[in-house]
Amino acid sequence: MMFKKILVANRGEIACRVFRTAKKMGIATVAVYSDADARSPHVLMADEAVRLGPAPAAESYLKAELILDAARITGADCIHPGYGFLSERESFARACAEAGIAFVGPPPNAIAAMGDKIESKKLAKAAGVNVVPGFLGEIADTDEAVKIASDIGYPVMMKASAGGGGKGMRLAWSEQDVREGFEATKREGLASFGDDRVFIEKFIESPRHIEIQVLGDQHGTIVYLNERECSVQRRHQKVVEEAPSPFVSPEMRRKMGEQAVALSRAVGYYSAGTVELIVSGADTSGEGFYFLEMNTRLQVEHPVTEEITGLDLVEQMIRVAAGEKLSFGQSDVRIDGWSIENRVYAEDPYRGFLPSIGRLVQYDPPAEVDAAEGRTRVDDGVLEGGEVSMFYDPMIAKLITWAPTREEAIDRQIAAIDEFVIDGPGNNLDFLSALMQHPRFRDGALTTGFIAEEYPDGFTGAPASPDLLKALAAVAAFAATAEADRARRIDGQLGKRLRPPSAWTVRIDGTDHQVDISTDGVVVDGDDLDLALEYTPGDHIVTAELGDEELTVRIARTRTGFRLTTRGASHVARTLPAHVAPYAQHLIEKIPPDLSKFLIAPMPGLLVRLDVKEGDAVQAGQPLAVVEAMKMENILRAEKAATVKSVEAKTGDSLAVDQVILELE
C-alpha cells in the first residue's frame, strides 16, 4: 500500500527534490530543520516541519533519535534520507525498521556490506566484478606495505579503509613514497574516521570516474539505468556530471551494467544505488574498468540519468519501499539524447576556490525550459535573501540541461550559466562556463585530473575571443549612451539639455576600442557590428542579438563604466566619451598597497589555531594559522621569510574575509 506521509531526513536541495515528487504522488510531506534552516525553502515547502536542534549537523541532522521522534509525532510512515548525513548509516536504517517506519532506501545489510571499502571489494571480487589489482588484507607495518606495493607494481594508491571525501589517500610512485606515506595515511584514517586500517591498490593511469545507476525492487528484479561520467572533479569532489559517457561503447555499457547488477544481487540490494567504477582512459578495449565502491543511496547527480531515461528516481525509490514491483525491465531502459549537470558552489574560483558564505543578495536562476529541442532544469534549495551557512555543504544549486546531442547540451549549459544571477557569496559560475567551453571537455577527453592539468595555476576567467571583446565594448557603449540619455532628462538642470555622446572610447582588458552608436547601427574600431539590444538603466542582464547568435551579459555599474560578465569571465569596461578619453593618459596611476606583509583571512571562518607570536622569525612555507570554514581546516602559510611584527587576532575569533590576522616585517 502506498505511503500517506513522508519525512525527509535532510535539508536544502535534496529535501526540496523529494518533496516535489511526493506532492506529485499525493503523499503528505514533513520537513526537519536545524536553527540555521528555520526559514529555508525546504521547510516552507513541506506540509509540516519539526525543529531538530542547533545549527551544527552533529546536534541536529545527524541525530537519528530526534528524526525518529519527529516521524512519530507527525505520523510519517516512511523516511527518505536524501544523500549525506544519515543516508548510508546502517544503524539508522535498522532503527527505522524497529520503529515500524519504512526506510526509503536499501536494506540495512546491503548498506553495511558496501560501507566498508575492504569488505565491499572482497564481495565484488566474489560476485565476478572487476576489481583493481591490490591487497585487501590488514597490513602490519611499512616493510610489509613496501613488499605489497612492489608485488602490485608502481604506481600504487594507499587508502584509509574507512576514508571518504578525498581524505586518507596517498599516491606512491616508488618505495621511498611508500616508506614516507604509509604511517601518515594510517594516522589520517585514525584521526578522521577512527579506523587506521590501510589498503593498497594499483593506481589507474588516465583514470575516468564512471558510475552505473542500479535500481531494484523487493521481488528480485534489478536493472541498470546506464552510466554517468563524473570525471571532472576538483580535490576528489565532482563538479560536472553527464549521461551517457562519451567514452563508453554499447558493449562496455552492457558489461559494466551486468557486473553492477551481479554485485547488487550478491548483497540482496533493492532501491536506487550506484556502483562507482574507475576506468582506464588509456585502455580502449573496453575491459579496463574496476569496482571502486557502491553508494547505497540516491546520488547528487541522479538528474542526468532521469533526463535520458525519462524515469523519476525518487518516485521509483518510494514505490520500491512501498513493496511495489518495478513496472519495467532491462530491455525497456532507453538512452534518449544527452544530459549534463553542473554543480553551482559557494566558492571563489578566482581565489583558489576558497569557500564563501553569506547572504544571497540576489538569486535569480535561469528559467526552466521543457521543449523538444532541449530542456533546462534547476534543482535548488535556496531563495533570494537566504543565507549560505558555514555549517553545511556549500552547494547552491544544480544546473541540468538536456538536448538531443552532447554538443547542444553543452551549449545550453553555457547559455543558462550566462542567465544565472548570484550576488552575495562568491560562486563558481564563471568556472563552470569555462569548463563547458574548454576544447578538451567538448572533445570528451576527460580524466579525473582534468581540472588540475588544465588549470595548474588556478582560474583567472575563461579566455575571450577578440570578437567577443568587441561585442562587449559595443554593449558597454550602448549602456553608457542610455545612462547619459537618462541623466540629461533630469529636470532642473542649468543650461540647455545636451544630447548624449554617440562616440565612446571603451577600455576593456587593457585595450581601447572606438565605438560609434547611431540610428544607422553600431561601429566598433571602424567595422560595422550586427548588434541589437535593449538596455534600461538599472537592468542586471541584457540579451544582445549578435548576428544569428544570442549573447546574454550580466551588467553592473562601476565608478567609471560597467562590469560585464558572460561566457565564463568578468570584464571591467571603462567608458569615456571619445572627446574626453585622450585626457585620461594624464591621470596619476594609483599604485595598489603592498599587502604581502600582512597575513589576511582568505575567507570568513573561525581562527582555530595561531602557530606564532609577536617577535617570532618565520620561514617561507611555515604554517602561521589555521582557519576553519565549511567543515574544512585551511592552513595559512608564510609567503616569505620574515618576523612577526604584531598579532591582530586571537584563537577563537570569527574572522571576516580580508581581515588582518597578523603583520610581518
Active site residues: 293
Q: Spell out the residues 6+ positions from residue 519 whose beta carbon is closer than 8 angstroms to its own.
A: none
Distance CA 68, CA 53 (A): 14
Question: Which long-range CB contacts under 8 A does 594-598 form with residues at least 24 apart?
Answer: 596/639, 596/640, 597/642, 597/645, 597/663, 597/664, 597/665, 598/660, 598/661, 598/662, 598/663, 598/664
- Count of helices and strands (H, E) across the chain: 16, 41
Distance CA 306, CA 197 (A): 37
Distance CA 406, CA 404 (A): 7
Q: How many CB atoms lie within 10 A of CB 598?
A: 16
Closest CA to 369 of 393, 403, 398: 403
Q: Spell out the residues 6+ positions from residue 615 whose beta carbon is closer than 8 angstroms to its own.
A: 643, 644
Closest CA to 296 of 93, 160, 124, 99: 93
Q: Spell out the residues 6+ positions from residue 220 whose beta carbon is closer than 8 angstroms to its own.
A: none
H or E element that contains 141:
none
Q: What is the number of residues in the chain?
A: 665
Give 559's DSSP letter. S
Ranges of beta strands (E only) in 3-133 are: 5-8, 28-34, 48-53, 78-80, 102-103
Distance CA 577, CA 624 (A): 49
Pairing of strands 28-34, 5-8: parallel
Q: Spell out the residues 6+ positions from residue 228 whose beta carbon is closer than 8 angstroms to its own.
A: 210, 211, 213, 241, 242, 243, 244, 245, 299, 301, 304, 305
Give 131's DSSP letter. B
Helix axes 117-126, 250-266, angle to 10 degrees: 110
Q: Identify whether the C-beta of residue 436 lies closer than 8 Å to the C-beta of residue 476.
A: no
Distance CA 630, CA 477 (A): 41
Distance CA 501, CA 480 (A): 9
